[in-house]
Amino acid sequence: MSMSVMTNKRNEQGHLMIGNIDAVRLAEQYQTPMFAYDVSAIRNKARAFKSAFEQAGVNYEVAYASKAFSCIAMVQLAHEEGLSLDVVSGGELYTAIQAGFPMEKVHFNGNNKSRREIKEALQAGIGCFVVDNFHELELLEEECNNLQTQTNILLRITPGIEGTTHSYISTGGEDSKFGFDLFNGQAEEAVAKSLSIPAIQLQGLHFHIGSQLFETSVLTEAIATLYRHIEHWHTLHGFTPEVINAGGGFGISYTRCDEPLEPQAFVKAIVHSIREESGRCYLPLPEVWIEPGRSIVGEAGTTLYTIGSQKEIEDVRHYVSVDGGMTDNIRPALYGARYEAELANRVKQQDEKTYAIAGKACESGDMLIYNLPLPTVNSGDLLAVFSTGAYGYAMANNYNRLPRPPVVFIENDKHQLVVERESYADLVRNDRPLEKE
């Protein structure tokens, strides 16, 4: 059964509790819309992944995929929990630098890293690049030579296997913009090419099947497929992977229909499969790396909104609008993502009606939830939307010149602002007035 959705705590006033803090108090202090993260939930997920690896008895790295939610405090929290960090842009790398994150634990992913980003990452001394394509391999070689430095890489392989997930968040199939193809020979060519570049150490291979996975079989299938090729590359090119990175994508619970696996189940299946396959090929057991993003932060985040206007269309729909929407959570509009929510000021009161929760942006598609049973809603009620910790703030935007919400970390009895609400001044900060004649 879903975790954050079903186990909401309430206090004696019937208010939602986040950590040990009353959500109504949070909304009074920080105003809405706002993101509230339960830090203990983040720590617990990080620890669950790590302890699963400890139990599996393998050398490992758990890299937090910071694109799910990146800010200085979050990167620092990842470091406190002993995670490595996956970045996909110069901006995420910069955030990691500002957070004081150890650069040797940073991995750089992405299908179109610019020359500037590559140079910045080399200068920062990151742990490795996950090289996606031949263009990047060339840029990387050139920049290594320019800076007279060397670097570690993994090659991102597209294993031709798709997770059963939305096509926009599926990445492992053959028709994907990501990675070197296994079946048309690109991957082998990339292995051979990487091995021939003196400035580049090919540490191993990477794949990322897609997001919101609810089964382990796609991962183990990908590993088996990959090893059939590794075996071949070992014979032909003397290549022995020291690292296999199985990516992220571990599913979480957005609604009570989602039944995610525990971190342990994914880790166990991945390690078991790699152990078996490497053994079968008489190759040493490599380090096993993963890159969870959503599963680390998704369920830990809750968005608090205030309900404003309502519009009832008899026998059609009863719209209620909140003070945010696609500007702080574009996932429903972008790929039909589903969420659950409750009135944070009246948790677990009897539901009386089905409402459609609309955002405030000027787009008909700016809807958060289409069918949400709630008690009779009044303007001024506080709506808590659950499991918004991943790809919520990270995808937030300023459409309609709405300032992005603040982010608050809550741990037990403490709460702390970690990202300020944008101001109107922030919105025009990069604007330049028209030049006078």
Ligand X SMILES: *Cc1c(COP(=O)(O)O)cnc(C)c1O
Residue numbers in the known binding site for pyridoxal 5'-phosphate are 249, 291-294, 391
Give residues with Cβ within 8 angstroms of 68, minimum separation 6.
Answer: 293, 294, 296, 297, 298, 389, 390, 391, 394
For residue 394, state whether it binds ligand X (rule: CB under 6 A).
no
For residue 155, state whether it binds ligand X (rule: CB under 6 A).
no
Which among 136-144, 245-253, 320-328, 427-435 is the span making contact with ligand X, rule CB under 6 A? 245-253
> Using the rule CB under 6 A, which residue among 26, 46, 65, 394 binds ligand X?
65
Using the minimum distance from each CB to ligand X, give the nearer residue, 95 or 295: 295
Using the minimum distance from each CB to ligand X, give the nearer residue, 89 or 295: 295
For residue 159, state whether it binds ligand X (rule: CB under 6 A).
no
Known binding-site residue numbers for substrate: 294, 331, 335, 363, 391
For residue 90, state whether it binds ligand X (rule: CB under 6 A).
no
- DSSP string across 353-375: EEEEEE-SSS-TT-EEEEEEEES
Using the minimum distance from each CB to ligand X, give the nearer residue, 31 or 111: 111
| Residue 362 a catalytic site member | yes
| Angle (CA) 107 113 116, round 5° | 100
> Using the rule CB under 6 A, which residue among 33, 127, 248, 405 binds ligand X?
248
For residue 291, state whether it binds ligand X (rule: CB under 6 A).
yes
For residue 295, state whether it binds ligand X (rule: CB under 6 A).
yes
- Find the binding residues for ligand X in span 92-151 (CB under 6 A): 109
Q: Please work out the total of residues on this chain that contact ligand X, with binding judged by CB under 6 A.
A: 17
Enumerate the β-bridge partners of residue 151: 200
What distance in Å separates the CA atoms of residue 305 and residue 6, rounded to the nearest whole number? 19
Q: Give the 3-state secondary structure of residue 71.
A: coil
Six-digit token string for 417: 């602002």
Which among 11-19, 43-51, 248-256, 266-274 is the span making contact with ligand X, rule CB under 6 A? 248-256
For residue 392, state whether it binds ligand X (rule: CB under 6 A).
no
What distance in Å separates the CA atoms of residue 30 and residue 369, rounded to the nearest whole number? 24
Which among 15-23, 232-240, 285-293, 342-350 is the span making contact with ligand X, rule CB under 6 A? 285-293
Nearest distance from C-beta of residue 398 to ligand X, angstroms? 23
Residue pair 222/159 in contact (Cβ under 8 Å)? The answer is yes
Contact letters (x/-) for ligand X, 160-199, by CB under 6 A? Answer: ----------------------------------------
- DSSP string across 195-236: HT-TTEEEEEEE---BSSB--SHHHHHHHHHHHHHHHHHHHH
Residue pair 358/325 in contact (Cβ under 8 Å)? The answer is yes
Nearest distance from C-beta of residue 178 to ligand X, angstroms? 7
Residue pair 120/142 in contact (Cβ under 8 Å)? The answer is no
Nearest distance from C-beta of residue 22 to ligand X, angstroms? 30
For residue 303, state whether it binds ligand X (rule: CB under 6 A).
no
The residue annotated as part of the active site, out of 71, 128, 144, 362, is: 362
Residue pair 296/25 in contact (Cβ under 8 Å)? The answer is no
Known binding-site residue numbers: 249, 291-294, 331, 335, 363, 391
Using the minimum distance from each CB to ligand X, give the nearer residue, 252 or 341: 252
Residue with tokens 């979480």: 252
Rg (CA), the chain: 23
> Using the rule CB under 6 A, which residue among 158, 194, 211, 278 binds ligand X?
211
User: For the stretch 231-251, what's the b/e string if a residue is b when 16 or more beta carbons lie within 10 angstroms of its beta carbon?
Assistant: bebbeeeebebebbbbbbbbb
CB-side exposure of 333: number of CA atoms within 13 Å?
21
Using the minimum distance from each CB to ligand X, give the nearer residue, 85 or 358: 85
Name the residue with the smallest CB distance to ligand X: 293
**CA-closest candidate to residue 42, choices 5, 11, 13, 83:** 83
For residue 68, state whether it binds ligand X (rule: CB under 6 A).
yes
Using the minimum distance from each CB to ligand X, give the nearer residue, 2 or 32: 2
Six-digit token string for 231: 């075996």
Using the minimum distance from each CB to ligand X, give the nearer residue, 86 or 328: 86
Six-digit token string for 228: 């059939």
Within a 10 A sphere around the Cβ of 14, how many other Cβ atoms?
14
Residue with tokens 């071949």: 232
Residues near ligand X (CB under 6 A)? 65, 67-68, 86, 109, 208, 211, 247-250, 291-295, 390
Residues annotated catalytic, as ranges = 362
